Structure 1
Amino acid sequence: MHRDVTHDDVVSGEPRIRVLVVDDHSVVRKGLRTFFGMLDDIEVVGEAADGLHALDLLAALAAEDALPDVVLMDLEMPRMDGISATAEIKKTFTDVEVVALTSFSEAERVHLALEVGAAGYLLKDADADEVGVAVRAAHRGEIHLDAAVVSKLTRSLRQPAETAAVLTPREREILALVAQGQSNRDIARALTISERTTRTHVSNVLGKLGLVSRTQAALWAIREGLAPGP
């Protein structure tokens, strides 16, 4: 059954961003639900205590044509952890963006999540406003990098088989814009090219460098000095 957009769903003519919160700590889920409840443009459409529960919820929402736009995914959970769940989500529900929830001490595990398709990451102790910023960025296809952990992540990033020398000047230019957190639409507008051409360039960059996500590419570009850090 198709889910109609109601008046309550819309703020300034735009549908609310639908979020699924996945964390094994009920206090975290409750806190996020309370925070999002104070926002006009984001709504929580479900909660899950582990990866398996999340996949079951997503399947049920998909059957109603009501999938969330963004999943906030804890990485350490029983039964199925966030990395395995993210891999399944990106395989089955390709349009759903996943943002990893992590602590600073777990930052290096974020790479595993990025490798299976997570769009970005968010520290659990981030300010409330930053949570909203990260969700909105993921929904727009942009990258939100936390300055506190970028240096740690870039140090632990796996070294690609190739270097920036394999990229064309245009690909380097686009990579630098990706690292600044810009979406394909933003990049297309800045370079006066189509979004399709932008997507092709981004895909080529990832393929040449052996990376699988925009966030990985952004971290790599920062580490290699092709773009400034946040």
Structure 2
Amino acid sequence: MSTPPRPPRIAVLNDYEIVVAGIARMLADHPEHVEVVELDTRRPATDDVDIVLFDTFARPGEAGEQTLSQLADSSRSKIVVFAWNTDPELVEKALSQGAAGYLSKALSAERLVEALRAVHDGERIVETPSPRSATRPVGDWPGREAGLGARESEVLALIARGLSNQEIALALYLSVNSVKTHIRNAYRKIGAQRRSQAVRWALENGFDTDPDRTRL
């Protein structure tokens, strides 16, 4: 009897330990299909993994794009972007910079695993359904225990890194009014009334405020 093929080894890449741990925990429910390698967020992905799942939480604009390009150039692993933002322009840019796939966080865990297996088999996969099709939140993020939704948490993370409302809107491909709505909701949940209070709360609750720190 032939030995079944080894499942692809997956590393999750993000500056936030809670993000890495949350996605790793979700993928760990499917050991027969993927083997999760949970890396320290301050070390680069190594070449003994087959796929790097590049989570874009709080990696806005040129910084995130530059990191993706550098990662694709320096790693033998296949790079798959995992993001809430599925704007076609971002998808095309990621693929042109060497990504082997672009996956929406609206995917179920089962579909995410299927997509990763397909990438491992040599396919280029783009899955960008509407967030409304999500069966449950994917992975984890800072602020979740305080009741922050994933988008509210991402907006708060960018506030903590010093971005203006306009810069956040451009980074996340949202309208300024949508950004303001997310901010109001986040402030209400964390008990903040001013930006300085929100930044202090972020510092005290595991948000990274260094815009220049990456794992490369």
Q: Could you state the TM-score of these two structures normalised by the residue count of structure 1?
A: 0.47
More helix by share: 1
| Relative contact order, higher structure (CA 8 A, sep 6+) | 2
